[in-house]
Amino acid sequence: MRSLWDFHGGIHPDENKQQSLQQPLADAPLPKKVVLPLQQHIGAASEPIVQVGDKVKTGQCIAKADGFVSANIHASISGTVVAIDEQPIPHPSGMSDLCISIESDGLDQWVDLTPVTDWQTADTETLIQAIAKAGIVGLGGAGFPTAVKARTRERHAIDTLVINAAECEPYITADDISMQTYPEQIIIGAQILCQLVNPSSCLIGVEDNKSDAIKALQKAAQGTHIEVVVIPTKYPSGGEKQLIKILTGREVPSGGLPADIGVVCQNVGTTLAIAQAITLGQPLVSRVVTLTGNAFTRRQNLQVRLGTPIHELLAYAGYNAAIASRLVMGGPMMGFSLLSDQLPVVKTTNCILAPTAQEFPDPEPENPCIRCGMCEQACPAELLPQQLHWFAKAQEFEKAQLFNLFDCIECGACAYVCPSHIPLVQYYRFAKSEIRKESEEAKKAERAKIRFEQRQARLEREEAEKVAQREARMAAAAAATAAKKAAEASQSTNLDSATGTSAHNTAAAPLATASHAATSQLDEAALKKLKIQRAAAAVALKKAEKALTEAKDNGVDVETLNTLDQQLNAAQQKLNTIDQQLGKEISPAAATSSANATASLNAGAQAEHEKALKQAKIAAAASKAAVKKAEKALIHARENEGVEEISAKEQALVIAQNLAQKAAEKLEALNQAPVAASVAAPSQSASTVEANSSDTGQAEYEKALKQAKIAAAASKAAVKKAEKALIHARENEGAEEISAKEQALVIAQSLAQKAAEKLEALNQTPVAASVAAPSQPASTVEANSSAETGQAEYEKALKQAKIAAAASKAAVKKAEKALAQAQEKGDATEIDQCTDAVNSAKNKAEAAANKLKQLTEAKAAIVE
């Protein structure tokens, strides 16, 4: 006698198995029409391989397994495919799914079956292929594709094969009758499985309430190494984990598989199907279904073709709708109630239960939990069901998980014993689905975050490349300057032959530059090509992003999302590679274009321009100072004053910022003006004087550049300071301080940005001019036209300065008004602050006025 183990808890509901065991197993009448869902198993739905209108024979494969974890589906009758569409399927939610409908021709013509006759000597792969071809899935309830399970040995060391024949659910006798009817075939099936799994022992676990089945099996198993183990009747001993514990004493680890502890478990019905598939070549087109419950007049087990509509079975079994309390698919403990009888029998349908109200009364109202702990005594997973119930009810899902909610097998033992009639399993299902939803959303968010970061990195890279290009251009400009100097030197060489040799050496430099430029031009074709490629890659990236978004919105499964993610990454990488190539190509190209640029500069206009530029710079600096003061006042106000003061100061700041913006724009305009001038000037003959004057302009420009650089550095320092202050505020201070400092930082950053832009503008502008100037100076006419342009620019500057002055005056007035209000209120600090604000506004106004004055004076000078 083999020693058995016990599992914690369990219950002993009335078995009610005898009702359906009075009759032998019989064939159900052939259905007129079958509806075969494409998903009757765990894993991916099958892929239909027939079309509407096709004639099919019984046993013909009509849908192929799609992916590794999936299963074939076969026509269960011969006839015509009449539809491939959404039909209601047996599911607790009452949902619909894609199904293939076949109308019977009444002939039940089978395809030619190809058994594996020499299965004792056949190799593993042949047997597994035959099982997969037959579309066999776990018939116990889960519907896991059997062929996949049969490959367990490829990844795990297995020592025990368990055939689950416990059938612990009350009422159901499908396995019982199968064992009584086909004991030899079941033993053959077990032997085939042994050949696949190669265990040291094979145990068939049967509950002791099936004495006929036990006898039949024991007789059939004689002479084999297969052992029929009789176990005590207790629900849920037929649970996979529980049965393994009973037979081997081992516990499947939480979240693990039986294979982790060296066990493979197969349902006895599945074992029979395997035997029929191998020895007869018969695919899974029917299964044994128990029809029981007192609302049937004929309670018995039937061999039912898959896809048979339930109402046909009900009619056959003498179903009395008047006395039925509900219709259940599966057993009374874990089965689900059906919302219609227009549903097909599927591979996992082991029982149709039609109880009367005496058998299954309507559920009693839920009473409060009194923590009696009866559920805990019944729980086979050794959980604390009532604690889980409290957590689920309070939506404390994290605690529920900590109390091992996911080890719950939903056997219903807790709800069975609960004296308060609490539908505990329903609470656990709710909590589980909520937790799954949450984690799914967290995964989505994580994916979105990664994508965002990748995009951010890409943008940064692009920005960095732009900067690199700019630097390349600057380098080119420097080279051009050197070339100019060399030209000058060579000119002087003509005058003084004594120094000729050395000057000639210097002159070699521009020649070299020129030759380099020539080779760069050759690359342009390649560059163009790369640019086209880049555009294509960018389009691909966008497409991939769009597809991913759509997929997420439509809620497709995780695998598809992952694939799309990968596609997106691939597209991004391609783009990056091209970008890098492009970056390499662009540097010489930029040099080429810079070197080739031609323009001339009129000395007078340049001088005018420099003057206006200087003035504009002063104005810009003044307005920046005003902005800073206003900011300071605002920050101060935020810290110390009321809402009105703050808003007044905010307005003052906005005005000051606008002024600063305008000043900056003007400066920008002036900076760009010479570009226009230089572009306008056609290339003509040179004179030494003009070259010299050009040099003066160059000196002026260098000065401006220096100043701009200083300004840029200062503003960068300001940004850094503001950042530091912000970090400090985040660490030590309240929300208000933080937001004030954040704003200060933003302002500082925008100032820095502007300074950088100005610097950039200065960098780019005169280069072209200075390069071309010595060799090709302009004529007087053009000089005049250039001067006119300068004049127009000046007028524009003047106008802007006037506007600025007016605006700052308005600011002064507003600040004064605020001061007056503060004085009325009589708050000393407020008055002080408003006085400060007025003063700063006044300063600003003064600065604006000064600027205006300067501009006017400048005009006077020009007129003179």
**By CB under 8 A, what part of segment 263-322 binds other proteins?**
295, 321-322
**Binding status of residue 94 toward other proteins by CB under 8 A:** yes
236 versus 583: smaller Cβ distance to other proteins: 236
**Binding status of residue 433 toward other proteins by CB under 8 A:** no
- The one among 43, 48, 138, 335 contacting other proteins by CB under 8 A: 335
Contact region for other proteins (CB under 8 A) — 69-77, 416-424, 736-744, 802-810?
A: 416-424
Per the document, the length of the chain is 864
**Binding status of residue 415 toward other proteins by CB under 8 A:** yes
User: Least CB distance from residue 322 to other proteins, whole Å?
Assistant: 7
**Binding status of residue 15 toward other proteins by CB under 8 A:** no
Of 464, 765, 451, which Cα lies nearest the Cα of 609? 765
The whole-angstrom separation of Cα 280 and Cα 171 is: 31
Q: Report which DSSP code applies to 344.
A: B
**Binding status of residue 373 toward other proteins by CB under 8 A:** yes
The whole-angstrom separation of Cα 788 and Cα 588 is: 37
Q: Count the neighbouring beta carbons within 10 Å of the beta carbon of residue 500.
A: 13
Residue 369 among known ligand-binding residues:
yes
- The one among 118, 154, 364, 553 contacting other proteins by CB under 8 A: 364
Q: What are phi and psi of 55, to 5 degrees?
A: -90, 135
**Binding status of residue 372 toward other proteins by CB under 8 A:** yes
User: Least CB distance from residue 33 to other proteins, whole Å?
Assistant: 21
386 versus 520: smaller Cβ distance to other proteins: 386
Residue 408 among known ligand-binding residues:
yes
**Binding status of residue 750 toward other proteins by CB under 8 A:** no
Contacts of 720 (CB under 8 A, 6+ apart): none
User: Least CB distance from residue 255 to other proteins, whole Å?
Assistant: 8
**Binding status of residue 358 toward other proteins by CB under 8 A:** no
Contact region for other proteins (CB under 8 A) — 409-417, 455-463, 509-517, 714-722?
A: 409-417
User: Least CB distance from residue 189 to other proteins, whole Å?
Assistant: 28
**Binding status of residue 367 toward other proteins by CB under 8 A:** yes
140 versus 283: smaller Cβ distance to other proteins: 140
Contact region for other proteins (CB under 8 A) — 215-223, 382-390, 740-748, 788-796?
A: 382-390
Contact region for other proteins (CB under 8 A) — 50-58, 247-255, 514-522, 551-559?
A: 247-255
User: Least CB distance from residue 413 to other proteins, whole Å?
Assistant: 8
Q: Count the neighbouring beta carbons within 10 Å of the beta carbon of residue 350.
A: 26
Q: How many CA atoms lie within 13 A of 213 on its CB side?
A: 26
110 versus 390: smaller Cβ distance to other proteins: 390
- Report cis status (omega within 30 of 0) of the bond before 423: no
Contact region for other proteins (CB under 8 A) — 375-383, 461-469, 640-648, 704-712?
A: 375-383
Residue 194 among known ligand-binding residues:
no
- The one among 215, 399, 485, 796 contacting other proteins by CB under 8 A: 399
Q: Among residue numbers 226 through 245, which ones bind other proteins (CB under 8 A)? A: 241, 245
Residue 277 tokens, joined: 């598939």
The whole-angstrom separation of Cα 335 and Cα 319 is: 19
The whole-angstrom separation of Cα 465 and Cα 107 is: 75
Residue 532 tokens, joined: 């086209």
The whole-angstrom separation of Cα 162 and Cα 179 is: 15
- Sign, Cα dihedral of 709, 710, 711, 712: positive
374 versus 745: smaller Cβ distance to other proteins: 374
Element (H, E) at 401: helix 397-402
Q: What angle do CA 453, 458, 460 make, to 5 degrees?
A: 95
Q: What angle do CA 511, 485, 499 make, to 5 degrees?
A: 85
State the pairing for strand pair 336-337/73-74: unpaired
Q: What secondary structure does DSSP assign to 613-678, as a single string?
A: HHHHHHHHHHHHHHHHHHHHHHHHHHHHS-HHHHHHHHHHHHHHHHHHHHHHHHHHHHHHHHHHHH
**Binding status of residue 355 toward other proteins by CB under 8 A:** yes
Strand partners for 204: 163, 228
145 versus 380: smaller Cβ distance to other proteins: 380
**Binding status of residue 857 toward other proteins by CB under 8 A:** no
User: Least CB distance from residue 226 to other proteins, whole Å?
Assistant: 27
- The one among 53, 154, 358, 368 contacting other proteins by CB under 8 A: 368
182 versus 391: smaller Cβ distance to other proteins: 391
Distances, alpha carbon 292 to alpha carbons 176, 306, 466, 467, in Å:
14, 18, 78, 80
Residue 265 among known ligand-binding residues:
no
The whole-angstrom separation of Cα 792 and Cα 389 is: 82
Q: Roughly what angle, to the nearest 10 degrees, separates helices 780-825 and 643-680?
A: 180
**Binding status of residue 382 toward other proteins by CB under 8 A:** yes
# chain residues binding other proteins, by CB under 8 A: 77
The whole-angstrom separation of Cα 246 and Cα 232 is: 9
State the pairing for strand pair 263-267/286-292: unpaired
- The one among 377, 454, 835, 854 contacting other proteins by CB under 8 A: 377
**Binding status of residue 402 toward other proteins by CB under 8 A:** yes
Strand partners for 319: 296
**Binding status of residue 420 toward other proteins by CB under 8 A:** yes
The whole-angstrom separation of Cα 751 and Cα 711 is: 10
95 versus 526: smaller Cβ distance to other proteins: 95
235 versus 701: smaller Cβ distance to other proteins: 235
**3-class DSSP state for residue 368?**
coil
110 versus 403: smaller Cβ distance to other proteins: 403
State the pairing for strand pair 160-165/336-337: unpaired
Q: Are 116 and 278 in contact (CB under 8 A)?
A: yes
Strand partners for 497: none
The whole-angstrom separation of Cα 486 and Cα 775 is: 11
- The one among 81, 206, 252, 667 contacting other proteins by CB under 8 A: 252
User: Least CB distance from residue 310 to other proteins, whole Å?
Assistant: 11
| Amino acid identity at 173 | T
The whole-angstrom separation of Cα 690 and Cα 782 is: 13
The whole-angstrom separation of Cα 140 and Cα 163 is: 11
| Amino acid identity at 475 | A
**Binding status of residue 106 toward other proteins by CB under 8 A:** no
Residue 351 among known ligand-binding residues:
no
**Binding status of residue 199 toward other proteins by CB under 8 A:** no
User: Least CB distance from residue 439 to other proteins, whole Å?
Assistant: 15
Q: Are 355 and 296 in contact (CB under 8 A)?
A: no
| Amino acid identity at 599 | A
Q: Among residue numbers 133 through 192, which ones bind other proteins (CB under 8 A)? A: 170
**Binding status of residue 101 toward other proteins by CB under 8 A:** no
**Binding status of residue 774 toward other proteins by CB under 8 A:** no
- The one among 264, 302, 352, 425 contacting other proteins by CB under 8 A: 425
**Binding status of residue 328 toward other proteins by CB under 8 A:** yes
**Binding status of residue 512 toward other proteins by CB under 8 A:** no
Residue 372 among known ligand-binding residues:
yes
Q: Report which DSSP code applies to 259.
A: G
**Binding status of residue 423 toward other proteins by CB under 8 A:** yes
- The one among 65, 75, 206, 383 contacting other proteins by CB under 8 A: 383
Contact region for other proteins (CB under 8 A) — 48-56, 374-382, 538-546, 549-557?
A: 374-382
**Binding status of residue 381 toward other proteins by CB under 8 A:** yes
State the pairing for strand pair 61-64/263-267: unpaired
Contact region for other proteins (CB under 8 A) — 77-85, 413-421, 512-520, 557-565?
A: 413-421
- The one among 4, 5, 6, 13 contacting other proteins by CB under 8 A: 13
Residue set of the binding site: 369, 372, 375, 379, 408, 411, 414, 418
Residue set of the binding site for [4Fe-4S] cluster: 369, 372, 375, 379, 408, 411, 414, 418
